[in-house]
Amino acid sequence: MGSTLKQTPFYTVHKEKNARFAPFAGWEMPIQYPSGAIAEHRHVRAHLGVFDTSHMGRFELRGKDVVSFLDYAVSSDILTLAENASRYGLLCREDGGIIDDVFVYRLQDHFLVVVNASNLEKDYRHLDALRKDFDVQLLDRSTETVMLAIQGPEAIPFLDTVGSAPLSGTPRFGAAYLKIDGVDVVVGRTGYTGEDGVELFFGSESALQVWNYLFVEAEKHGTDLQPIGLAARDSLRFEPGFPLYGHELSEDITPLEARLKWACEFDRNFVGRDALRKRFDSADPRKLATIVLRDRGVPREGCAVHDPSDGSEIGLVVTGMYAPSVDAYAANVYLDSTFNKVGTMLEIDIRGKRKAAEVIKRPLYTPSYR
Amino acid sequence: MNFDKDARYLESHEWAKKDGELVACGVSDYAQDSLGDIVFVELPELGSSFNKGDAFGVVESVKAASDVYMPISGEIVEINGDLEDSPETVNSDPFGAGWLIKVKPSNPDELEALLSADDYKRFTDGLDS
């Protein structure tokens, strides 16, 4: 059964650290380590954690037209993206539905586009079809490279001790080139936890060398570096309001509904722009909202949301959990827009019981670097 | 992994233990370890009655909600209200402060029919292999 799941080059070290594994987007990934998902979550907020994110897709793009191509393929402004900087954006269908959310890095001699593991093949086909009219080469580098996220308030001081050059001068969303234990590493001052930190990209052949070096150096410097699994990754991204494809985002959802208008540059043509523009004038019937339960209970994906006044169904939970940093049971819901006002009281159906919930101001947790 | 010798077990990982005239019930150390961090426990109404094997509540971990089943038939006469604020006690002390309910048994003989700690341990050993 497990034989069909892919494993990242870090699989053996996850095993050594007694990870519990679960299937995720076709990969056998560490869901948590022995300290548990909530302890891992708190550790990243307070100290330092490392995440194996090698299952994500990494595309390398080059060519004469690469800037204009990515500006067209991605919703955000790529034309003005400076070298050694990165930007969040969306790949949209012509009708505005979201194919994926991506990070675009403009590096020294190419662009790196990081995509969700679950969408890798779909994104590749989409970009490959789009590039027909452009002089662009598209290479899937997901196998020959790996990716680690190092996140938490101690991340930058720690990287300054292990890297060949200080990172303190690299701004949020900036990129730098370091050697770590002699290995060439591209560093993005990015991440998906709401804490400061970096994402490292380097060759798969050096995966275990770099991983082990990070832990040896952390111990030497008295830094409590802990491996963090996908369960804590989910709660860490949920609290600051970062969407996860397959939950907050899908091809049936537009960036306007997902409150990602800020990630769209409407002054320039991108795939889906015209369809989205047409919707500016009409209010979206549903929009993403964050709610906190006022009764006790854990909202889960698929729970229905009701209007307390007449019981009618007005929304659906797409992510729900106990949020450790705010000590609340909370959820992201797609909600009838007339109920989106902060402070609106709702009811959520959990196993047939109606629990009171309130629409809150997003995000639950303000990123530490903002 | 701890297997409380004084408790009797169900294969669905609940335990039951005599507490005077009552029977205290909870989930095993094996269960809490498998579930991971417990974030919410839903317990039944006081005074409600259940048969052995009925789902009487729900234990929710970070990732999933799991029904918990009656090891013994009877009336719910106490619930562990402390778990409302501290569900993680089920993780830290599953056989002690993390108990879920106390039951006035309608058929106390049912207790002896449950798995002993040794038998339950052997059962869980089989699950891990």
Residue A300 phi/psi, 5-degree rounding, is -125, 160
Same domain? A77 vs A186 = no
Same domain? A50 vs A169 = yes
| Domain-ending residue, one of A122, A140, A158 | A140
What are the pLDDT digits (tens) for A98-135?
999 999 999 999 999 999 999 999 999 999 999 999 99
Nearest to B108, CA basis, from B47, B26, B27, B52? B52
| Domain-ending residue, one of A85, A112, A140 | A140
- Give the mean pLDDT of A59-80: 98
What are the pLDDT digits (tens) for A83-103?
999 999 999 999 999 999 999
Q: Does residue A172 belong to the interface with chain B, where contact is any CB pair within 8 Å?
A: no
Which pLDDT score is estimated for A151?
A: 98
The chain A residue lying nearest B57, using CA atoms, is A351
Torsion sign, CA atoms A117, A118, A121, A123:
negative
Same domain? A31 vs A91 = no
Question: Percent of chain A beyond pLDDT 90?
Answer: 96
Distance CA A226, CA A215 (A): 8
Mutation target to probe the A interface, by most A beta carbons within 10 A, among B43, B60, B62 is: B62
The chain B residue lying nearest A295, using CA atoms, is B84
Q: Is the pLDDT of residue A164 over 80?
A: yes
Question: Percent of chain A beyond pLDDT 70?
Answer: 99
Which pLDDT score is estimated for A182?
A: 98
B63 and A31: CB-CB below 8 Å?
yes
Residue A254 forms part of a structural domain: no
Q: Is the pLDDT of residue A8 over 60?
A: yes
The chain A residue lying nearest B67, using CA atoms, is A351
Distance CA A342, CA A291 (A): 9
In the sheet where B74-79 sits, what is the strand order? Answer: B8-9, B14-19, B22-27, B101-105, B74-79, B49-50
Q: Is the pLDDT of residue A282 over 80?
A: no
Which pLDDT score is estimated for A18?
A: 97
Number of domains making up chain A: 3
Q: Supply B18's token pair.
A: 């005599």
Nearest to A234, CA basis, from A155, A310, A320? A320
What are the pLDDT digits (tens) for B24-74?
999 999 999 999 999 999 999 999 999 999 999 999 999 899 999 999 999
Same domain? A46 vs A148 = yes
Same domain? A51 vs A73 = no
In the sheet where A98-106 sits, what is the strand order? Answer: A85-92, A98-106, A111-115, A57-62, A137-140
CB A239 within 8 A of CB A364: yes
| Domain B8-107 belongs in CATH node 2.40.50.100 | yes
* Chain A stretch 39-58, residues whose beta carbon is closer than 8 A to a beta carbon of chain B: 39
Q: At what angle do helices A120-130 and A66-73 cross, to 10 degrees?
A: 120
Judged on CB neighbours under 10 Å (0-12, 13-18, 19+), A119 is buried
ipTM field: 0.92
Q: Whole-number mean pLDDT of chain A? A: 96
Same domain? A147 vs A212 = yes
Give A284's pLDDT tier (boundaries 50, 70, 90). Answer: confident
Same domain? A80 vs A131 = yes
Same domain? A227 vs A163 = yes
Distance CA A118, CA A250 (A): 12
Q: In angstroms, what separates the C-alpha of B50 from chain A's closest C-alpha?
A: 19
The CATH number given to whatever domain includes residue A291 is 2.40.30.110
B63 and A231: CB-CB below 8 Å?
yes
Residue A246 forms part of a structural domain: no
Give the 3-state secondary structure of residue B18: strand
Q: Is the pLDDT of residue A15 over 80?
A: yes
A321 and B60: CB-CB below 8 Å?
no
Residue A82 forms part of a structural domain: yes
- B97-120 per-residue burial string, b: 16 or more CB within 10 A, e: under 16: ebbbbbbebeeeebbeebbebeeb
From the list B36, B40, B84, the residue facing A298 with the nearest CB is B40
Give B129's pLDDT tier (boundaries 50, 70, 90). Answer: low
SS (H, E, C) B32-92: HHHHCCEEEEECCCCCCEECCCCEEEEEEECCCEEEEECCCCEEEEEECHHHHCCCCHHHH
Which pLDDT score is estimated for A3?
A: 60
| Domain-ending residue, one of A238, A261, A295 | A238
Range of the domain at A153: 2-56+143-238
From the list A32, A235, A322, the residue facing B40 with the nearest CB is A322
Give A262's pLDDT tier (boundaries 50, 70, 90). Answer: very high
Enclosing H/E stretch for A103 = strand A98-106
Mutation target to probe the B interface, by most B beta carbons within 10 A, among A21, A33, A38, A239 is: A38
- Give the mean pLDDT of A276-288: 88
Distance CA A186, CA A115 (A): 17
What are the pLDDT digits (tens) for A312-360?
999 999 999 999 999 999 999 999 999 999 999 999 999 999 999 999 9
Q: Is the pLDDT of residue A2 over 70?
A: no
The chain B residue lying nearest A40, using CA atoms, is B37
Enclosing H/E stretch for A123 = helix A120-130
Q: Supply A162's token pair.
A: 């292990």
Same domain? A38 vs A173 = yes
What are the pLDDT digits (tens) for A168-204?
889 999 999 999 999 999 999 999 999 999 999 999 9
Same domain? A86 vs A116 = yes
Q: At what angle do helices A230-238 and A37-46 cross, to 10 degrees?
A: 60
CB A275 within 8 A of CB A281: no
Same domain? A300 vs A185 = no
Which pLDDT score is estimated for A192?
A: 97
Peptide bond into A363 cis (omega under 30): yes
Task: Provide the strand spans (E) within A166-251.
Answer: 175-180, 183-188, 197-203, 225-227
First to last CA, chain B: 15
Q: Which amino acid is at A314?
A: I
In the 8-state DSSP scheme, what is residue A205? G
Give A283's pLDDT tier (boundaries 50, 70, 90). Answer: confident
Residue A91 forms part of a structural domain: yes
